[in-house]
Structure 1
Amino acid sequence: MPGTLLLDSEGLSKLYLKDRTVMALVQAAAEEGVRVATTAMTTLEADYERIHRARITWVLSRIDVHDVTADIADKATALLRTHHLHGHKYAIDAVLAAVARNAPAPVTLLTSDPEDLTLLCGPTIEVVKV
């Protein structure tokens, strides 16, 4: 596989809302065979009442949604400890970073929070602000 495009809650929300930039990035990735993905935790964070449930279901049916397994939780916990972070503010980002670190490379992560995710993902993951 030629890589992975991961979406954080803002990237996923913008995809739900048909943001042109995010839609173009996702479409280009799909055309090139790049896996488009997120985490189950991210879908919780991005699920807004103002977005029709059918739109959410349709979008999620077209991307990979990673389960938060015990292994991913352990890796996320290790990332938080390594960087002396804790609490709900960082938990979902740490899970996303753990998935990013295990995803087929090259990995690009679309986020509204590049500072925290750059720290958690490390230098091998390209973090792009959306």
Structure 2
Amino acid sequence: MPGTLLLDSEGLSKLYRKDRTVVTLVQAASEEGIRVATSAMTTLEADSEGIHPARIKWILSRVDVHDVTKEITDQAAALLRTEHLHGHKYASDAAFAAIARTAPRPVTVLTSDPEDLTLLCGPFVEVVKV
């Protein structure tokens, strides 16, 4: 199994905006057969102001978008309890981390928030700041 590259809101925003580093990482992952993915919640969080809706639709057609299901939110709640975190500040990160923890390994997350996601994702997920 070749693994998964997960984009958080900053990673997805940068992909929308054709950030050279993120585009290169996503292209390389795709060429190597690595799944490029995000969460449905992340598609709402990503800054898409000024981005043509057709570009967003095109990008999302090439990215696996994971639903934030009851099972994911239960896992996220458990992560928050384990790490003694609470509130809306961590809710989306916890749901994203629950998806990262269950994605095909190896898993790499592109994020602007490496501290919280490193804590929530655990040792089996590589967290890379973008």
* TM-score after normalising by structure 2: 0.98
Q: Can you list the C-alpha shifts for 1:70-91, whole angstroms capped at 9, x where unaligned?
A: 1001000100111111111111
State yes or no: 1:36 paired with 2:36.
yes
2:12 is aligned to 12
Greater mean deviation of Cα atoms: 28-37 or 45-54: 45-54
CA drift of 1:47 comes to 4.2
What are structure 1's unaligned runs of at least 5 residues? none
Q: What residue identity is the alignment partner of 1:107?
A: V
Partner amino acid, structure 1, of 2:50: R
In the alignment, the residues of structure 2 paired with residue 25 and residue 88 of structure 1 have an alpha-carbon distance, to the nearest angstrom, of: 30
Alpha-carbon RMSD across the aligned residues, in angstroms, is 0.7
SS of equivalent to 1:84: coil
Give 2:27's aligned residue.
Answer: 27
Cα deviation, residue 6, structure 1 = 0.2
C-alpha separation between the residues in 1 aligned to 2:114 and 2:87? 18
* 2:73 match: 73
Equivalent-residue separation in structure 1 for 2:15 and 2:49 (angstroms): 15
Amino acid at match of 1:37: A
Distance in 2 separating the partners of 1:66 and 1:11: 15
* Deviation (angstroms), 1:52: 1.1
Match in the other structure for 1:111: 111
Deviation, 1:14, is 0.1
Q: Does structure 1 retain, via aligned residues, the 8 Å contact 2:16–2:48?
A: no
TM-score scaled by structure 1? 0.98
For 1:47 and 1:67, the matched residues in 2 are separated by 19
Structure 2 unaligned spans of 5+: none
Aligned residues: 130
